Amino acid sequence: MDQVLAYVMENGQKIEGGDKLGKTIVFAANQPHADFIVKRFDENYPHLAGKFCRTIHNKVSYVQSLIDDFSLSSKLPQIAVSVDMLDTGIDVPECVNLVFFKRVRSKTKFWQMIGRGTRLCPDLFGPGLNKEYFNVFDFCENLEYFGSNPEGVEAHLQEGIKTKIFRRRLSLIDQLSQTSKPDESLAKLRTEIADVLYHGVSQMNVDSFVVRPHRRYVEKFSQRDNWKELGPGDIVDLSQHLADLPTPDDGDEFARRFDLLLLNLQLGMLESSPFVPRWEQQVREIASGLEEKEAIPAVKVHWVLIQELQTDEYWQDITLPMLEVVRRKLRSLVQFLDPEGKREHVYTNFEDELGEAKLIDGLIKRDDSLKNYRLKVERFVREHEDHPTIARLKQNQPITAADLEALEAILFSAEAAENRERFQQTYGTDKPLGKLIREIVGLNANAAKQAFAEFLSLGTLSGDQITFINQIIDHLVHNGTMDPADLFKPPFTDMHDQGLIGVLPQLAQAVVRTIRQINENALVA
């Protein structure tokens, strides 16, 4: 590590002439890794410690101010050690070094990261000496990987847990309708499952921009009679058009995961799945964990069932209705289980063996037809933040169709965007324009804090809980919008491995509602 930092410092850091600083972005694997890199730098260069090299990730206080300073040519830090925050969307023409201390396997992500060095910068190396190249220090063999695998491996979107639950219940209804020997208990179970799905569909907001394209299916299945007999076509329509739409939910993340486990087990029993023993063992382990929480009154109420679930006798004659009872009684108790132990960080102590630097010419080829089109458009948007619509988006104020038309009028007539066709060719048509603009300009810090003011004003929050909310605010200030699912992923799982649920169990749903409202304010009301 020390030799790597020295190698970077000795190659292209100092810019002779002018008042500009050559910048370096170091892509770290995670937050502890980034902190460790900066710590080693400060120990090796104590005269530069504290300002020259800084970490930039969601856990850093005032991270947006730090990013703003890094973006300015004459201000420190000169080296930014980033965890996912500088991969895209930042414009630092003075960036002359990119250091890959992490493996990247997504082609899209890799070239976005490479793009941080492609910004032109006049007079960077002195009067008349423009930036004509930048250095890529790759210590994780990413260049070799993409040389052999040009397309990389793109991450596939994962099915949300609520979507999985909807489809499992739909499959159960279909299987129970086709059972050769129906009995009264199974018929009752089918009715109960259908009631749950019907209740969720009937509460969908047909005026929501997400639900509106599927309105006819929502209206059809908001009538209870249409659930009495579901044909193959109905099953397909429900799965394709309604399964992933937002529905009201009174449960937390723990309860939903327990629901999914029990639904998998029920469906597996009908389909004779080989995974049934594994799912059964998971239920036993949950019951064993709950047995240790006898002091909690809600757990004590179901003490007999919790003990029975750990016996072989209970599982010998298990039925689907019995599992449904288990699901209903224990789903709200799973939140009391102790989290699994976190993995300890492993630090290695070995001497770096760096050979001669390998020069790869032609990695980035100039494309005169693009002329940094995205950069020009995003710069135009930032220069017009006082436009009423852009200002409303940045201030987290709802926009109307008239606001959007006014924005389109100025944007598509500007020289930077050229025309609507060129804009859509570059940015696509999947993302609404309001959301795209919000992601470019970000969210005003005061507006973000105001949205979460009711949480920050609570006198009962701990220091960690306040820090977690400030992390969310920093993310919104930098990115403009947020997927609530990110609250259960790094870096939001650094404080607690269950993310939002682990840090703010009582306020989780309210926080998600606030984030969704902020996202919706970037869309036409």
Give the chain's length: 525
Count the Cβ atoms, other than its own, within 10 Å of residue 509: 16
Distances (CA, A) of 58 to 63, 86, 98, 115, 385: 7, 11, 20, 22, 25
Of the candidates 490, 502, 498, 516, which has an alpha carbon nearest to the alpha carbon of residue 465?
A: 502
The pTM for the full model equals: 0.43
Only one residue has tokens 């486990």, namely 261
Only one residue has tokens 């933040």, namely 385
What tokens appear for 431 in the block?
């993302």
Rounded to 5 degrees, what angle do the CA atoms 479, 483, 488 make?
Answer: 115
The domains located in the chain, with CATH, are 2-148 (3.40.50.300), 161-336 (no CATH), 370-525 (no CATH)
Q: Which of 246-250, 368-372, 501-505 has the lowest mean pLDDT?
A: 368-372
HSE-CB for 19 with a 13 A CA cutoff: 3
What tokens appear for 441 in the block?
């300009």
In this predicted model, what pLDDT tens digit does every residue of 3-57 receive, in sequence order?
Answer: 666 666 655 444 444 445 678 899 998 888 898 999 988 888 888 888 889 998 8
What's the mean pLDDT when you consider all of the chain? 84
In this predicted model, what pLDDT tens digit does every residue of 233-280 receive, in sequence order?
Answer: 888 889 888 888 887 766 677 888 899 999 999 999 988 888 999 999
At position 177, the amino acid (one-letter code) is: S
Task: Kindly compute the dihedral angle of the four CA atoms of residues 375, 376, 378, 381, in this order, to the nearest 10 degrees.
Answer: 170
Count the Cβ atoms, other than its own, within 10 Å of residue 289: 16
Res 15: pLDDT = 44
Of the candidates 140, 88, 130, 131, which has an alpha carbon nearest to the alpha carbon of residue 109?
A: 88
In this predicted model, what pLDDT tens digit does every residue of 385-395 receive, in sequence order?
Answer: 999 999 999 99
Distance CA 54, CA 40 (A): 12
Res 19: pLDDT = 47
In this predicted model, what pLDDT tens digit does every residue of 400-453 receive, in sequence order?
Answer: 999 989 998 888 888 878 888 888 888 888 889 999 999 999 999 999 999 999
- pLDDT of 338 > 60? The answer is yes
